[in-house]
Chains A and B, each alone.
Chain A
């Protein structure tokens, strides 16, 4: 693949590259390797939260505000694939129509394609590609997430967790997972009743969080702000933009911020290795091996652990 059209702003070439990366085509991955040194200039911002909390609307409002400041914006919007058909309906563009016609904005919808955790397996690669293509802001919007869809924190430099009034009590807020990944908390739909109670619950959950934090991923000098927005009206958006910029500076200037980035890359490396090792094992198995073993486990001919060992033994003999 030729990098020139992509670097000179050819949107068709960029779109085709993203498609090839999503299909994990080697030529597309080679191009990403070639351009990797150019990536790293964009601010990768993750946006996650429950379905209906207003993720897409907030992303659209943030993009408008960045554009007003002269920055270019790419959005990766992930929606779930159907576990039954493998198909998907990707509807995030519906809330982003106000961005249409602006050549400084590029929106790409992605289906999760069976990956749990709120993103697709290739989302990180597409984010790096958009970074390399020169966008100032790369926003990653997850599927509607609940309590464990935290992959976005492994891909973004700054993660916004968005809540809305009336979605749960303070016990929901202290459960493991989604609050721990928040660098910025946004309570959207702040014109709805119950917003004060939601802000209060989140603030007290954050206090518990920092009191209980042992090793701590958060950068020193950064306390997670709880901000309120009405994304449909654009209220509160400028403050979120400022908080994002402040967090980025904090992460770049502190050693702990750098350390956090390295930790993030280590986890990504590990996830990718796991996937590759599995693909190698799978490639060496006869197509019906797992079906036959499962049937044997079902009939209690062998147990699950023995089945695993027999697969590993049979694939290992061929390993270089």
Chain B
């Protein structure tokens, strides 16, 4: 039996991880295994954790405004590691234009403040569904 494994990471310098922890709990309650890495991760640390943990999806929580700098770096490192097919989600305070830009870079979905937990869980579940699960 293969469980869905999700990395929840906080790249960048902001110190607010309540949102990330709430998401981690919601995914756990949906039966997923959530690897939580803590605050102040570099993109290199995020990509390395994703590689070692062989995760099925990644959630980046970014409240610092640095999403356009950090996210492309994480995506590039993951491609270099052979994990370009792993869906990456971004949560945080992201202006609409930036969200569009992130989706253009290959981010699976962007979740702003007030997104219902069920929407987050559904999106991760759909993105990680394998043909065998259908």
Chain B residues within an 8 Å CB radius of A244: none
Chain A residues within an 8 Å CB radius of B81: 12
Chain B residues within an 8 Å CB radius of A259: none
B3 to chain A, nearest CB (A): 7
CA–CA, A24 and B2, complex, Å: 9
Do the beta carbons of B29 and A90 come within 8 Å of each other?
Answer: no
CA–CA, A194 and B38, complex, Å: 30
A23 at the interface (CB under 8 A from B): yes
B30 at the interface (CB under 8 A from A): yes
Do the beta carbons of B2 and A94 come within 8 Å of each other?
Answer: no
Do the beta carbons of B38 and A97 come within 8 Å of each other?
Answer: yes
Residues in B25-57 with C-beta less than 8 Å from chain A: 25, 27-38, 41-42, 44-45, 48-49, 51-54
CA–CA, A84 and B28, complex, Å: 10
CA–CA, A109 and B3, complex, Å: 13
A166 at the interface (CB under 8 A from B): no
Chain B residues within an 8 Å CB radius of A107: 49, 52
Check A100/B34 contact, CB under 8 A, given A23-B1, A93-B49: no
Do the beta carbons of B33 and A15 come within 8 Å of each other?
Answer: no
Do the beta carbons of A111 and B30 come within 8 Å of each other?
Answer: no
CA–CA, A16 and B45, complex, Å: 19
Is chain A's binding surface mostly helix, strand, loop or mixed? mixed
Do the beta carbons of B33 and A100 come within 8 Å of each other?
Answer: no
Do the beta carbons of A89 and B52 come within 8 Å of each other?
Answer: no
Do the beta carbons of A85 and B2 come within 8 Å of each other?
Answer: no
Chain A residues within an 8 Å CB radius of B62: none
CA–CA, A24 and B36, complex, Å: 24
Do the beta carbons of B24 and A18 come within 8 Å of each other?
Answer: no
Q: Mark A9-21, 1 if CB is under 8 A from B, else 0.
A: 0011001101100
Residue of B nearest to A20 (CB): B2
A86 at the interface (CB under 8 A from B): yes
CA–CA, A86 and B82, complex, Å: 29
B128 at the interface (CB under 8 A from A): no
Is chain B's binding surface mostly helix, strand, loop or mixed? mixed
Residues in A15-38 with C-beta less than 8 Å from chain B: 15-16, 18-19, 23-24
Do the beta carbons of A109 and B29 come within 8 Å of each other?
Answer: no
Do the beta carbons of A88 and B33 come within 8 Å of each other?
Answer: yes
Check A87/B32 contact, CB under 8 A, given A19-B2, A111-B3: yes
Chain B residues within an 8 Å CB radius of A84: 29
Chain A residues within an 8 Å CB radius of B41: 97
Chain B residues within an 8 Å CB radius of A11: 51-52
Chain B residues within an 8 Å CB radius of A16: 54
CA–CA, A85 and B27, complex, Å: 10
Do the beta carbons of B3 and A113 come within 8 Å of each other?
Answer: yes
Chain B residues within an 8 Å CB radius of A94: 36-38
Do the beta carbons of A15 and B53 come within 8 Å of each other?
Answer: yes
A193 at the interface (CB under 8 A from B): no
Chain B residues within an 8 Å CB radius of A81: 33
Do the beta carbons of A108 and B48 come within 8 Å of each other?
Answer: no
Do the beta carbons of A85 and B29 come within 8 Å of each other?
Answer: yes
Q: Mark A79-123, 1 if CB is under 8 A from B, else 0.
A: 001101111111101100100110000111101010000000000
Check A90/B31 contact, CB under 8 A, given A12-B83, A108-B53: no
CA–CA, A108 and B5, complex, Å: 12
CA–CA, A111 and B55, complex, Å: 13
Check A108/B30 contact, CB under 8 A, given A12-B82, A97-B45: no
- Residue A82 contacts which of B28, B36, B37, B52 (CB distance < 8 angstroms)? B28
Do the beta carbons of A18 and B3 come within 8 Å of each other?
Answer: no
Residues in B42-76 with C-beta less than 8 Å from chain A: 42, 44-45, 48-49, 51-54
- B interface residues, Cβ below 8 angstroms from A: 1-3, 5, 24-25, 27-38, 41-42, 44-45, 48-49, 51-54, 81-83
Closest 7 CB pairs of A and B: A94-B38, A87-B28, A15-B54, A100-B45, A23-B2, A19-B54, A86-B31
